[in-house]
Structure 1
Amino acid sequence: MPAALLWLIAALGLAGAEVLTGDLFLLMLGGGALAAAGTSWLLDWPIWADGAVFLVVSVLLLVLVRPALRRRMQSAAALETGIEALEGRSALVLDQVTQHAGQVKLDGEVWTARPLNDHDVYEAGDHVMVMRIDGATAVVWKND
């Protein structure tokens, strides 16, 4: 059996095994084996030269390509939606916010609000920060 065919079988086997791991390590080795198969078929080099091609290409793929692919494949930070997206936002006090009553304009909508600290009172026109959403009420705080 020609050496090029053996390298090709190794490349396909490594790529197939990569499906089981998902770490991109075996895929890079498969790329090195594919390069060795190509040089063996095109140039008819001795087997040690094919091994050197496999080694060099595999190391280059592991060092240069694998880190970039892993960064791309890692999921980005999940987009905050719903009430999680409102926490930390700035709001405008519409009606005086006390322990038992109040309204703020938050993200274009009017929300009932109460202060984070029960004794705080925020007047209309104040800018406050939403600390959390408690049901349908924005719990707000003003950094004096």
Structure 2
Amino acid sequence: MDLVQYAWIAWLVVALVCFIIEMVTLEFTFLMIGLSSVVGLVSSITGLPWWAQILIAAAAALLLLFLVRPRLLHRLHESGELNKQGIEALLGMAGEVTRSFVRGAGEVTLVNGDIWTARLSPAVQPRDPDVGERIVVTAIEGATAIVVSAQR
């Protein structure tokens, strides 16, 4: 039994493991190694000797890591702004009043679909916004969104 004829299975396993690791790390390194493993798999299917498969996969890995990965990372970060998460993502988000404000407190639905209890910001003139009025989140205090009217 010649183990070289089953080398494609090893290449496939390496590629799948790399793709799974890439889903956790999200830095394109394991994606490039996984793609080079696919190149090794293809060279295995064509019947090349094991040493040629390794050389071809290594060359593909080097090319992908040093030529393609930097360009992908640059494209990913070219906006210059990192994705905001959690409370930071809510600051500045628009929405509308969905339950009447009474003495500066009510309920709003943000553009992302979240429903928040809300208070009017102390930085604005005290008044109760009407249902349907557009608002903007200026702060989060606990489970309460601090809002101002967007119609200023």
In structure 2, C-alpha distance between the alignment counterparts of 1:38 and 1:45, rounded to whole Å: 9
Pairs aligned (count): 78
CA RMSD of aligned residues (A): 1.6
Query: TM (normalized to structure 2)?
Result: 0.48
Letter in 2 for 1:51: I
The reply to whether residue 13 of structure 1 matches residue 17 of structure 2 is yes
Matching residue of 1:59:
62
Q: Tell me the CA shift for residue 45 of structure 1.
A: 1.3
In structure 2, stretches of 5+ residues that fail to align are 82-91, 93-152
Q: Tell me the CA shift for residue 26 of structure 1.
A: 0.8
In structure 1, C-alpha distance between the alignment counterparts of 2:65 and 2:54, rounded to whole Å: 16
The reply to whether residue 27 of structure 1 matches residue 50 of structure 2 is no
Give the counterpart of 2:73 among 67, 70, 83. 70
Stretches of 4+ aligned residues off by more than 4 angstroms: none
Letter in 2 for 1:39: S
Identical-pair percentage: 31
Deviations 1:55-113 (A, max 9, x none): 000000011100110011115135xxx8xxxxxxxxxxxxxxxxxxxxxxxxxxxxxxx
Q: Tell me the CA shift for residue 6 of structure 1.
A: 1.1
In structure 2, C-alpha distance between the alignment counterparts of 1:73 and 1:52, rounded to whole Å: 30
In structure 2, C-alpha distance between the alignment counterparts of 1:9 and 1:49, rounded to whole Å: 19
In structure 1, C-alpha distance between the alignment counterparts of 2:42 and 2:80, rounded to whole Å: 40
Query: TM (normalized to structure 1)?
Result: 0.51
In structure 1, stretches of 5+ residues that fail to align are 83-144
Give the counterpart of 2:44 among 40, 43, 46. 40
Letter in 2 for 1:58: A
